[in-house]
Structure 1
Amino acid sequence: MNSEDLKLIIAEGEGLTVEFKEKYTSKIDRDIVAMANSRGGYILLGVSDDGKVIGEKLTNQMKAEISSLARNCDPHISIAKISQTGDVVAIEVSEGLEKPYSCSSGYFRRLDGMTQKMTQKEVRLIFRAAADMSFESLPCKGFSFEDVQLGKVRAFLKEAGASLKVTGANLPSFLSSLGICEGNSINNAGALMFAEDINRFIPHSETIMAAFKGVEKVHIYDRKDARTDLLSQFNAAMDFLKKQLNVRSEIYIDRREIYEIPLDALREALINALVHRDYSMRGTSIYVNIFDDRVDISNPGGLLPGVTTRNFGKESVRRNPVIADLFHRMGKVERMGTGIKRMKDLMREAGLKEPEFTSDTFFHAVFYRNPEYSLKRAGKKKVGETTQETTQETTQEKIFALLKAHPAITRRELAAKIGLSEDGVKYHLNRLKLSGRIKHVGPTKAGHWEAPK
C-alpha cells in the first residue's frame, strides 16, 4: 500500500473492509477474524475513528504478535501483509476460504462498519452460506473499469459525505477499498452501483413502480420503470411514492408537508428491498405497487434460510453484505436489526396500522394508507392545510429547545428527557430538519446540532 492508496482509504472512512484503530492491542484478533469472515480488508493502526492520523510504529515484536494472533485463530489465518506506510501500520487480511473463523473471544464479523460478535444462530447461518458464493461477490462477466460511470461514483461520494476526488487513475484503488474489485475483476455489486449501463450486464435488476385504481392489479393509471444503478432506483422509487401519496401541509412557523404514510417507513422498506434482494433470480424485479388502500414493496428472494418473519429484523443476516455496506456508507442503513421496529414505530406514531411482512418467493412489506384521505388520482396532489397537532408541536418545541441548549446531545439522551422512544425522537428530528429549523454538523457519532431558526 502506497501513501496515495492510504489517503484514499482513510478519506472513505470505516466500512465493511476498513477498520481504524488508534493503537495496537491484543484484541485485534477480533478484527482479523471479522475481516476473514467477511470480504477481507485493511486494519489501520494509528488512525482514530474520525479518520485523524495519530500515528503508530511497526516493530518486529508487534509484527510477530499479530502473526501469532492470526495463527491462533481457528482455522488459522494467514495475514496477507503487514506494513508501515507513513505514520500508519496497515494490516491486510484476505477473505477466508474456510469460514467461519473464530478467536479466543468467539466468532466475529463486519457489520455496519464495525466488528461485531456473532450469535450461535448467525454462526450456523454463515456455515451454511459459506458453501455458496453470493451473486454480489461473483465477478461481473464482461464488466471493466471503462464501464464504470464516474458521475455515479461522484453521486455515491456526495451521499457518503466524502470530499474525495476519484479519477480514472485511482478508480481501481477506490473500488478495491470498497470490496467490489480485486485486481482487474469487478464484482456484481460494483456493477449494480456504478455501471454506466447496467442493462448490458445484469438486465433483471430493475425496480418497477405502479399505481392502481382500486385494491387489485386491474386498472393501472401510472407506471415507472427504473433500469439503472441502485442509488438511482432508490431515488426514483421515493419520487414515485411522493407523487402518488396524499399529502397535507401543516402551518406553524413555516409550511411542512406531511404524507399519509411516513416517508421514513417507506424509505426503510425500499432500502431493505434493495439490500436483501436476490439478484441472481432472472426475470424478476423489485416492485413498488400502490393501491387505494395500501402500498406493497416487494423484492425477489424472500428470507434467507433460517430467518422467519417472526425473527426477521432481529437476526443480523444479510444476503448482500457488500451492497449493504455501500448503503451504510451513504447513511441510508443504520444499525442492523432496527429497521423492522423503526417501520412499526413510525406507523404507530402516525396513528396507522403496523406494516405487515410476508415471505414466499418474494418478501413483501405492506403499509396501509390512512383511510381519512380520499383516493389520489393520476398524480394530482390533494393538499389540505391544518394546524399542527398540539402534542407534536409541544414535542418538537421541547426537542428544539434542548438542541439549542445542548448542541452535542444524543438521540438517546433526548429520548430519556422527553419520554419518547429513540425512533420517536428521530421522527421529530427529521420533521425539524425538513423544515430547516435544525441541521446536524459533523460525523454521526461526534457531530453537533445547529439551530439557525
Structure 2
Amino acid sequence: MIVDLLKREEGKTLEFKQDLSSPRNLLKTLVAFANTAGGRLLIGIADDRSVVGVENPLDEEERLANLIADGIAPRLVPNIEMLTVEGKTLLVAEVFLSSTRPHHLRAEGAENGVYVRLGSTNRQADRELIAELRRTVEGISFDEMPMPECTIDDLDLDAARRAFAGVRELHEQNLRTLKILVQDQGRTVPSRGGMLLFGRNRTFHFPDCWVQCGRFIGTDKAKIFDHIEIEEPLPQTVDSIMLFLKKHAMRGADFSDTRRRDIWSIPLEALREAVINALVHADWSQRGTPVRVAFFDDRIEIENPGILPPGITIEDMLQGVSKIRNPVIARVFRELNLIEQWGSGVPRIYSQIAAQGFPVPVIRELGLRVRFVFPLAEAIPVQESSQAASQPGAPSRLESRLESRLESRLAAKIVLLLEKGPAGKAELARKLGHKTVSGELHKQIKRLLNLGVIAMTIPEKPNSRLQKYRLTDGERKQLAQQGEE
C-alpha cells in the first residue's frame, strides 16, 4: 500500500513531508484533513519524492504526537505508525474525517485557525465556511433552517404552483412536507430553501442567489461579448441558462434517419446535468459568489460557490458518491424531475459525454468554489453579427466589463453610481433599491477601498456621519478607457 501511495501526486487526501522542521505547516495539513475528507501525511519523503526516512523514529513519533496534542483543538487523535521502505523508516499519520470538526490551530484560535483541504493545498476557512462545517456535524443543512423574519406572504406561491403544475397541488401541508415551510417557535415560516427557491425578494435576503452567464471572446475573460443575470426562481433558472448556452452554440442537422435530428456543437444534456448539480450543491450561505456560467471559444465552465461536502472527494463524485448539501432544494428538483436519481448526475455526465464523442470534462476545486470544465471538440468563435449583445434588459457592455474585472455585480453598480458623483452608504443603498445598508454593501465598499477603486472624501475621519465615497482618478481613467473599447 505504501509503495502505491508514493506513486501518487499530493492531493486532497495525501501529503508528503521530509521531516518535522515546519510544525505549523504540518499541523495545518492535519487540521485540514480532519475538517475535509481525511487523509494521510507521510513523513520522511523529500521534495523530489525520494525516500530519505526519519532519524530516531521513536523520538520523532513521540514528538509528532505531542505537537498534535498541544497544537490542535478540539483533541485530534490520528493513527501514527512506522513503516519501512527501502530500508528506511517513515512516519505515517492517518487522519479520518472528524466528528468533532471544525478543528483549529490553538495558536491561531477558533475563528482564525480553521483550515480545509483544497486539492494539494490548505486554505484558511472564513466565517461562513466554519459555520457550514459545524452544521454538517450537527446534521443541520443551511436550506432547512427557518427564516423567522419572513412569513408565507414572502413566498411567490404562484411561481411555485406554476412549477408544480401537473406534479402535485401545493396546499400548506405539501409545502410543509417539502420543507418549503417549517415551524419556528410556534409559527409557520419559510425555510431558507423555500426562500431560495420561491422567495419574492430572494436577493434581499441572499444577495448572491442569482446566476451570472457570460460569453467571452477568445479563451480568457479579457473581452466579454454577451452577459445576462438570471434572478428567477431556481427551478426556472435551469432552462434560462440552457437558452443562453444554445444561443451561443452552433446547430447542425443529421438526416441519416427518417427524421431530422439536431446536432449541437456543445454537449447539451451533460451541461444541463452540470447546471442542475451546481444549483443543488451550491453553498448559498457564501457571500459575493453567485453561480457562474462562462462560455469561451474552446470550453464552457460551470462553477458554484462552496467546497465539496466534508468526506467527499472528486474521485468519489466520479463514482456516484454524493452528499446532499441542500436537501430542500434537492427534494423540490427531484419532485420536478430535474433530478432523476440521487448521486447519478456526475456519472451520467461522463457517460453522455462519452456517447456523444466530446472531450472528457474536468472537475476542479478552486478556492471556495467547484468548477466543471467542458472542453469543446472544436473551437466556436464569437459570431460578431449576432444580436445577442443587444438583448433587451441586458447590462451595458461597460457594466458587464466592470463586473468581470471586479468579480462582483454589486461592486460594479457601486462604481457606476459613484461615477456620477460622491455618495454615502445610505445614499448608495437607496439608489440600489435596498431598504437598509446591508452587510454586503459594507463589505464591497471596504473591498473597493482596499483595491484603490474608491476613496473617502473625509479620510482623516473614516467613521464620520458625513463620510462619502468617490472614484479615484485612476479608476476614472480606467472607466473611460473601457467605455471607449
Give the TM-score taking structure 1 as reference length. Answer: 0.52
In structure 2, C-alpha distance between the alignment counterparts of 1:128 and 1:148, rounded to whole Å: 25
- Structure 2 unaligned regions, length at least 5: 1-98, 100-131, 389-485
Question: Does the CA contact (< 8 Å) of 2:321 and 2:343 recur in 1?
Answer: yes
Match of 1:254 in 2: 259
Match of 1:294 in 2: 299
* Counterpart residue identity of residue 192, structure 1: L
In structure 1, C-alpha distance between the alignment counterparts of 2:328 and 2:353, rounded to whole Å: 29
Among 304, 307, 313, the alignment partner of 1:308 is 313
Question: Does the CA contact (< 8 Å) of 1:292 and 1:375 recur in 2?
Answer: yes
Q: Aligned pair in 2 of structure 1 residues 135, 152: CA closer, same or farther (>3 Å)? A: same
Q: Aligned pair in 2 of structure 1 residues 377, 306: CA closer, same or farther (>3 Å)? A: farther
Q: Aligned pair in 2 of structure 1 residues 278, 379: CA closer, same or farther (>3 Å)? A: farther
In structure 2, C-alpha distance between the alignment counterparts of 1:371 and 1:155, rounded to whole Å: 39
Match of 1:353 in 2: 359
Q: In the alignment, does 2:133 pair up with 1:129?
A: no
Question: Does the CA contact (< 8 Å) of 2:167 and 2:335 recur in 1?
Answer: no
1:298 aligned counterpart, secondary structure: strand
Match of 1:267 in 2: 272
In structure 2, C-alpha distance between the alignment counterparts of 1:355 and 1:379, rounded to whole Å: 28
Deviation sequence 1:167-197 (CA, Å, 0-9, x none): xxx3x32210112222412111001111123
* Counterpart residue identity of residue 142, structure 1: E
* Counterpart residue identity of residue 297, structure 1: I
- Structure 1 unaligned regions, length at least 5: 1-97, 99-124, 382-453
1:394-405 → structure 2 map (5 Å cutoff): none
Deviation at 1:143, TM superposition (A): 2.1
1:83-102 → structure 2 map (5 Å cutoff): none
Q: In the alignment, does 2:273 pair up with 1:279?
A: no
In structure 2, C-alpha distance between the alignment counterparts of 1:200 and 1:141, rounded to whole Å: 15
Q: In the alignment, does 2:191 pair up with 1:179?
A: no
Match of 2:42 in 1: none
Q: Aligned pair in 2 of structure 1 residues 178, 163: CA closer, same or farther (>3 Å)? A: closer
Match of 2:222 in 1: 218
Match of 1:194 in 2: 198
1:318 aligned counterpart, secondary structure: coil
Match of 2:424 in 1: none
In structure 1, C-alpha distance between the alignment counterparts of 2:314 and 2:335, rounded to whole Å: 27
In structure 2, C-alpha distance between the alignment counterparts of 1:375 and 1:317, rounded to whole Å: 38
Deviation sequence 1:244-301 (CA, Å, 0-9, x none): 1111122343333221122110000000000000000011100000000000000000
Match of 1:140 in 2: 147
CA-atom RMSD in angstroms: 2.6
Structure 1 window deviating more from structure 2 (297-306 vs 344-353): it is 344-353
Question: Does the CA contact (< 8 Å) of 1:148 and 1:196 recur in 2?
Answer: yes
* Bigger RCO of structures 1 and 2 (CA < 8 A, at least 6 apart): 1
Question: Does the CA contact (< 8 Å) of 1:244 and 1:378 recur in 2?
Answer: no
1:64-103 → structure 2 map (5 Å cutoff): none
* Counterpart residue identity of residue 362, structure 1: R
Q: In the alignment, does 2:160 pair up with 1:153?
A: yes
* Counterpart residue identity of residue 256, structure 1: R
In structure 1, C-alpha distance between the alignment counterparts of 2:234 and 2:285, rounded to whole Å: 15
Question: Does the CA contact (< 8 Å) of 2:365 and 2:371 recur in 1?
Answer: yes
Match of 2:237 in 1: 233
In structure 2, C-alpha distance between the alignment counterparts of 1:227 and 1:135, rounded to whole Å: 20
Deviation sequence 1:45-100 (CA, Å, 0-9, x none): xxxxxxxxxxxxxxxxxxxxxxxxxxxxxxxxxxxxxxxxxxxxxxxxxxxxx9xx
Give the TM-score taking structure 2 as reference length. Answer: 0.49
In structure 1, C-alpha distance between the alignment counterparts of 2:182 and 2:379, rounded to whole Å: 54
Please tell me whether Structure 1 or Structure 2 has the larger radius of gyration of its CA atoms.
2
In structure 1, C-alpha distance between the alignment counterparts of 2:386 and 2:150, rounded to whole Å: 38
1:130 aligned counterpart, secondary structure: helix
Q: Aligned pair in 2 of structure 1 residues 243, 359: CA closer, same or farther (>3 Å)? A: same
Match of 2:411 in 1: none
